[in-house]
Amino acid sequence: MANQNGGELNPFKIAQKQLDKAAAVLGLDPAIHAFLREPLRELHVTLPVKMDDGSTKIFKGFRVQYNDARGPTKGGIRFHSQETIDTVRALAAWMTWKCAVVDIPLGGGKGGVVCNPKEMSPGELERLSRAYIRQVGRILGLEKDVPAPDVYTTPQIMAWMADEYAFLKGHNEFGVITGKPLELGGSQGRGDATARGGMITIREAAKVLGIDTQGATMAIQGFGNAGQYAATLGIELLGLKIVAVSDSKGGIYNPDGLDPDDVIKHKRETGSVINYPGAKPVSNEEILELPVDILAPSALENQITARNADRIRPKIVSELANGPTTLEGDDAFYKNGVYVLPDFLCNAGGVTVSYFEMVQNAYDYYWDLPTVHERLDIKMTTAYHAVHETAQRFEIDMRTAAYVIAVDRVATAVRLRGWV
């Protein structure tokens, strides 16, 4: 699928073309390149769920295990009305590269259910969550594939899934699902891990680029979990000034700065950031084009395309969402000197702390919050500098540099195992 300006919008085709760029830089063996362009395996499931009104509704679900050469696959489960298998394939591919770029011993997977969780009661969501695990549980396991929360899935949903898996197996196996509540083997620091990892990469990029983050302006498109934490942590850790945020209903802008805690309270009370007092309304498209130092796309994929990329001119784009920038958007950013922190580096804090959760579950000993933060900082800082140095060495953009590192690590594992 392409937009009217000829830009590719199918997320899986975008992921494949991103891989192709890195393969060209690496001079990758053609057979390994072809192997890495496709998922190893995928499962499509049909889920009948009894609704509160007594009717039965049929849902479609997916689980894709993209590549497990470096370890068990790992990746979130999305509940979204627009979910497609190609989106799940792309996200599973990006998870493969994400785990490799931060050098954790996992492969990439992803899952999804086509549904609108906003229209479902807690009871209906629980029955759907359990139905998904009943069908997909056969390919999950600590040594196989470990799911986690993603768009519109929560620690409570992970708890239901972990319980259903335990029922299927006949014993507790908490490490098979991450992003769980603390009381069921969750990790300290998991809630804000995606945003915290993003802030660490912004901090390191700002040092390299000579940007003072104190008072630097930031706009956040998407004010869910990652976006809200990005706003509060941006102020707490970096001294940023948050001037604009948006959610699915629209956005708000105040060049003098917003109080994120107050905006979060407003959203909790009204269901959206719109109509926040003392701020000007902006659309989700307009928020991307505001004159800010740092832009954090934190919503869904394909937000920055050939249509609007030339008008988006922050110093840093920090991709907390997966796949927010198309190939044409990337080309425009590189040409215009916009420094991109690519999604599978920038938002890798979530999977890194999920990996920490697996480790803690495995030996039944849990770390305190400062330990989690310290270990996350080391992982993210090391990964950022490896990507930046690779971009400089090959004179390529940051996304291609991140791919070069990740693809090389996965290709090496594939070669050593004798698969290709």
Report pLDDT digits (tens) over 308-348.
999 999 999 999 998 899 989 999 999 999 999 999 999 99
The reply to whether 220 and 179 lie within a common domain is no
Same domain for 147 and 221? no
Q: Domain ends where: 346, 364, 399?
A: 346
pTM to 2 decimals? 0.93
* Tally of domains in the chain: 2
Same domain, 150 and 221: no
Closest CA to 343 of 376, 301, 307, 312: 301
Own/partner pairs for 166-171, CB < 8 Å, 24+ apart? Answer: 168/133, 168/134, 168/137
How far apart CA 290 and CA 217 sit, in angstroms, is: 10
Same domain, 316 and 338: yes
pLDDT at 301: 83
Query: 362 lies in a domain?
Result: no
Q: Which of 184, 211, 232 is the last residue of a domain?
A: 184
Structural domain span for residue 306: 193-346
Based on the fold, state whether residues 298 and 154 are members of the same structural domain: no
CA-CA distance, 285 to 350, in Å (whole number)? 26
314 in the same domain as 218: yes
Q: From the centroid of its chain, how far is CA 49?
A: 28
Residue after which a domain boundary falls, among 346, 381, 415 = 346
Tell me whether residue 25 is in a domain. no
Tell me if 126 is assigned to some domain: yes
315 part of a folded domain: yes
Q: Average pLDDT of each block of 10 consecutive residues along the chain (420 residues)?
A: 60 94 96 98 98 98 98 97 95 96 98 97 98 98 94 94 96 94 95 96 98 98 95 98 96 97 96 95 95 95 91 96 92 95 96 96 96 98 98 95 97 98
70 and 146 share one domain: yes
Options 21, 98, 110, 267, the catalytic residue: 110
CATH of the domain at 70: 3.40.50.10860
**Burial (Cβ within 10 Å: 0-12, 13-18, ≥19) of residue 185:** buried
Helices 11-26 and 398-417 cross at an angle (nearest 10°) of 80
* Strand pairing category for 280-282 and 316-318: unpaired
Judgement on whether residues 127 and 101 belong to the same structural domain of the protein: yes
The predicted pLDDT at position 342 comes to 96
The reply to whether 171 falls in a domain is yes
Predicted pLDDT of residue 4: 46
For residue 390, being part of any structural domain is answered with no
110 is a catalytic site residue? yes
For residue 55, tell me if it sits in a domain: yes
pLDDT of 8 reads: 76
Q: Which residues pair with 242 in a beta bridge?
A: 218
